[in-house]
Structure 1
Amino acid sequence: MGLFDKFGKLAAERASLCGTQIHPFGIRIDEMYSPTEGCIEGQRVILAGTNNYLGLTFDPASIKAAQRSLALEGTGTTGSRMANGSYAGHSALEEELVDFLGRSSVIVFSTGYVANLAVIGTLAGSREVVLLDADCHASIYDACKLGGAEIIRFRHNDVADLERRMVRLGERAREAIILVEGIYSMLGDQAPLREIVEVKRRLGGYLLVDEAHSFGVLGANGRGLAEELGVDSEVDILLGTFSKSLGAVGGFAACHDAQMDLLRYASRPYIFTASPAPSAIASVRTALAAIKERPELRHQLWSNARRLYQGLAESGYQLGPQASPVIAVMLESPQEGLTVWRALIERGVYVNLVLPPATPGAVTLVRCSVSAAHTPEQIDRIIEAFASLRGAMGQVTAGA
C-alpha cells in the first residue's frame, strides 16, 4: 500500500468535481489591484470571498508601517516567542489590545488557528469537559482533540440544548468550558450570547468566544459580539485573528484574569511556533488604530452587507438566517455549487465554494464575504451577476 493510497476516495471526488477546468480548491489570484479587485485566469474580477471586512489590506498607513518595519527589523524573527521571537512590536501590540479590549491579559500568536490550539488545547485537558456549538470552526475541534478533553456538542445556537447537556453534567458543569463563535463563518449568523450567559450564570462554567469574524465588525468600538450585546464581562476568554478585519496574519487571546499569562509557559503551540513577522505586527497595530479611529468603516461594511443580502434575497436565493458580512447562498448539490461558482467567475465575481462535510447540515454553499471597501456599484454588480445566473439557472446547470 502506498503512502497516499488512503486518499484515493478524496482524489476521485476531487477529480469528478474539478476535471480539467478552473477549480475552487486551488484558485490563484494572479494579480491584486485593490482590496476588492484582482485578476483570475486573465479576467478582472470583483473579490467577494476574501474576509477582508474593513478593506485594510491596502490601507496606506498599514503598508507604510509594514515597510518601515521590514527595513528596520528584517523579514522575520526566526524564532518562537519563548526563545528569540518576541520583539518590541509584539509586546506593544499586546499592550494596545489590553487597552482596546479592556482586559487584563492578552497574548499574541502566529495565527488565529494557533491561538485556538494554544489556548483551548492547553486549558481543555483530559480532565475537562467541553461543550461546543456543533458549527464551531475546525480549529476549535482540533484544539479540543489536542488537549484530550471530553467533547459534548450541542445543536447550533440552541441554548435549550446547551442547558440540557449542562444539567446532565451535574456538578461537573461548574468547571465545564463552553465554546462558541461571535459570527459563524459558514452561514454568517451570530451566537445567542446573552442567553448563553444566562445559562452560565445559573449552572457555572467558563465561556470562551472566538471573535474571528466579529472582531472589528460588531460592537460600538469594534470589539466584537460580546461588546455588541453588553456581556463582555461574562466572557472569560476572547479569541481572535488578525487575518480578517485587521488585514494581516496572526491571532490573539484576551482574558480578564492576568493569570492567563501562564499559558506562555504551558502551551506547546505558543512555545514551539515561530512568532509573527515584525512587518505583520506593525501593519496590525496600524489597522487596530484604524478600527478605533474610523468607525465609518464598520458603518459602510454593514450598509454593504445589508444591500447585498437584500439584493440576493430579492433575486430568489435561499440565504443564511440574517444579514451579515458573511452571506451564504444555499444550493442543492456540490455539482450545482461548482457550476454556479464557475459561472460567477465568468461574470466577473469571485466568491467561495464550500462543500460538505465542511458545511453545516451537509448543504452546499456559495459564500460571499463583504468588505467596507466595496463600492455600492460593485455590490450592485455582484447582485446583477447572481440575478442573471438565477434567470438562466436551468441552462447553466444543464450545461455542467
Structure 2
Amino acid sequence: MTDMLDDDMTQAHTDLFSKFDPLIEMRRDLLSTGVTDPFGLVMERVISPTVAICNGRETILLGTYNYMGMTFDPDVIVAGKQALDDFGSGTTGSRVLNGTYAGHKAVEQALCEFYGMDHAMVFSTGYQANLGIISTIAGKGDYIVLDIDSHASIWDGCKMGDAEVVPFKHNDIEAMEKRLRRIPEGAGKLVVLEGVYSMLGDIAPLKEMIAIAKKYGAMVLVDEAHSMGFIGPNGRGVAEEQGCLDDVDFVIGTFSKSVGTVGGFCVSNHPKFEIMRLVCRPYVFTASLPPSVVATACTSIRKLMHAGEKRAHLWENSKTLHKGLRDAGFQIGTEEPQSAIISVIMPDLERGAAMWEALLHEGLYVNLARPPATPANMTLLRCSLCAEHSAAQVQQIIGMFTRAGKATGIIG
C-alpha cells in the first residue's frame, strides 16, 4: 500500500516542463559554445525598414518580412497618429460588441477592393485568422487535405476544429489527388494550401492543385501571407499570378508582412460568409485591433494597390541576392528565386548558429530557422528581402555572407 502511495505521489509531482528537456538541453549546448542567443536579439532602435541598431551597432535587416517596406511610409505613420488622437489607444472590446470602429469597416472595405472580393473579415493576428477560419468551416466529420509543410497556425486550426486531417507530401499534386480520392462521397472537404511557403520561399503549383480540388468537390483556402502585396500583377498573391484567384474560396493573409503592421484577415466571395462573424470563436472572443493599427493597415493596403514599381524592384533584389549567394558557393533552398525569401541551407544547427553570429558581427541580421519548424530537419538562414533595400545594400549583403561563410568554413 505504501509503495502504491509513493508511486501516486511521484506521478503527482511530475514536472510539467519535463517534456521540454530535450529542447532545453539543445539550447544549453548551443549557448555553451559562446554564441549570442539567436532567438533573443533585441533591436534597440529601428532607423528604417532596412536598418536598425542591434547590440549597439548599425545592422542591415534581412529577416523581418517587411517585404514592401511600409513600416516607415510617411502616409501610414500620419494615419496611425491621427487615429490615436481621434479614437484613443484601444477598443477594449470584441468586434461583435463595442469593438467595431469606423476604421475596422474601412480596412475591410480596402481589402475587398484590393482583392476584388465581396467579403473581408479582420482578425487581431494572422495566426488567429487561420485558427478561426479553418476551425470554424471544417469540423467533426469533415476532412482537411493539406500540405505537410503547412504553417503552425494552419495545423492548429485543424486541431481546434476537430476535422479529419489528411496531409500530403509538399507540393505533390499526385499525392494530393490520391488523398482526395479516398475521402468518402458526400463528406465536407477543405483543401488548404499556401502561396509561398515561408521556410524555403518556394511557391505552390496552385493552378493545378485548385483544379483537382474542385474536381473532387472540395472548397479551397489559400494562405497568401508571404505573397500578398508583392506577387501578382496587383500584388494579390500567387493565385493571381497563376490566374486562379477566382477559383479560391478563402484567401487568408496578414498585416504583419507586406502591410507593415499587425493583424490578419480572410477575404471571400462565398454568399454566406458574413455568418462567420457570429460563429468564429477566435473572432468573437477576442478584443479587436486598436484604431491606430487598422488606420495604418488601411492606408498601407490602399498604397499597395499602386506599388508596381516597388514590386519590380523587390524582384530585382531577390534575383540579385539569389544569384550572388549561389555564385559564392552557398546552398540555396530553391533553384531559382520564387519569392522575397531566400533560404541558405546550413550543415547543422551549431554551424548555422556560428554563421548567424558571424553575420551579426558583420552588421547583418537574418533569421536562424531550426528543426522542428523546418522541413526535413534542415537548419536555415532565412533571408527576407525588402523593396526598400537598395541595389548597393544587396551587394553589401552578398559580401557580408561571403566573408562570414569563409570565416566559419561554410564555403571554401
Interval of TM-score (by shorter of Structure 1 and Structure 2) = over 0.9
1:234 aligns with one of 239, 244, 247? 247
SS at match of 2:382: strand
Identify the residue that residue 375 of structure 1 maps to in structure 2: 390
C-alpha separation in 1, matches of 2:26 and 2:285 = 36
Identify the residue that residue 393 of structure 1 maps to in structure 2: 408
SS at match of 1:91: helix
C-alpha separation in 1, matches of 2:22 and 2:54 = 29
1:170 Cα deviation from its structure 2 partner? 4.5
2:78 aligns with one of 51, 59, 64? 64
CA contact (8 A) 2:67 2:387 kept: yes
1:21 Cα deviation from its structure 2 partner? 4.1
C-alpha separation in 1, matches of 2:22 and 2:172 = 34
Mark the structure with the bigger radius of gyration: 2
Asked whether 1:301 is paired with 2:332, we answer no
Identify the residue that residue 97 of structure 2 maps to in structure 1: 83
AA partner of residue 359 (structure 2): L
Q: Percent identity?
A: 45
SS at match of 1:63: helix
Structure 1 window deviating more from structure 2 (7-16 vs 45-54): it is: 7-16
Identify the residue that residue 249 of structure 1 maps to in structure 2: 262
SS at match of 1:30: strand
Identify the residue that residue 148 of structure 1 maps to in structure 2: 162
C-alpha separation in 2, matches of 1:294 and 1:6 = 47
Identify the residue that residue 68 of structure 2 maps to in structure 1: 54
1:352 aligns with one of 361, 367, 377? 367
C-alpha separation in 1, matches of 2:100 and 2:274 = 14
AA partner of residue 383 (structure 1): I
C-alpha separation in 1, matches of 2:378 and 2:284 = 38
SS at match of 2:43: coil
1:250 Cα deviation from its structure 2 partner? 0.5
Asked whether 1:166 is paired with 2:166, we answer no
Say what the alpha-carbon RMSD is for the aligned residues.
Answer: 1.4
Identify the residue that residue 274 of structure 1 maps to in structure 2: 287
Structure 1 window deviating more from structure 2 (253-262 vs 234-243): it is: 253-262
1:365 aligns with one of 359, 365, 380? 380
Aligned length: 395
1:99 Cα deviation from its structure 2 partner? 1.8
Asked whether 1:115 is paired with 2:126, we answer no
1:29 aligns with one of 18, 22, 43? 43
1:219 Cα deviation from its structure 2 partner? 1.0
CA contact (8 A) 2:230 2:258 kept: yes
Relative to the length of structure 1, the TM-score reads: 0.96
1:3 Cα deviation from its structure 2 partner? 4.4
Residue ranges of structure 2 left out of the alignment (5+ in a row)? 1-13
SS at match of 2:185: helix
SS at match of 1:230: coil
AA partner of residue 69 (structure 1): A
1:198 Cα deviation from its structure 2 partner? 2.1
Residue ranges of structure 1 left out of the alignment (5+ in a row)? none
1:293 Cα deviation from its structure 2 partner? 2.1
SS at match of 1:307: helix
AA partner of residue 217 (structure 2): G
CA contact (8 A) 2:355 2:405 kept: no
Identify the residue that residue 97 of structure 1 maps to in structure 2: 111
SS at match of 2:298: helix
Asked whether 1:330 is paired with 2:345, we answer yes
CA contact (8 A) 2:148 2:167 kept: yes
1:154 Cα deviation from its structure 2 partner? 0.5
SS at match of 1:222: coil
C-alpha separation in 2, matches of 1:272 and 1:39 = 37
Q: Deviations over 1:317-345 (max 9, x none)?
A: 11122312011001111111101000000
Q: Deviations over 1:179-198 (max 9, x none)?
A: 01011110001110011022
Asked whether 1:187 is paired with 2:200, we answer yes
AA partner of residue 382 (structure 1): I
1:18 Cα deviation from its structure 2 partner? 2.3
AA partner of residue 378 (structure 1): Q
C-alpha separation in 2, matches of 1:275 and 1:313 = 44
AA partner of residue 296 (structure 2): S
C-alpha separation in 1, matches of 2:256 and 2:406 = 36
Moved beyond 4 Å, runs of 4+: none
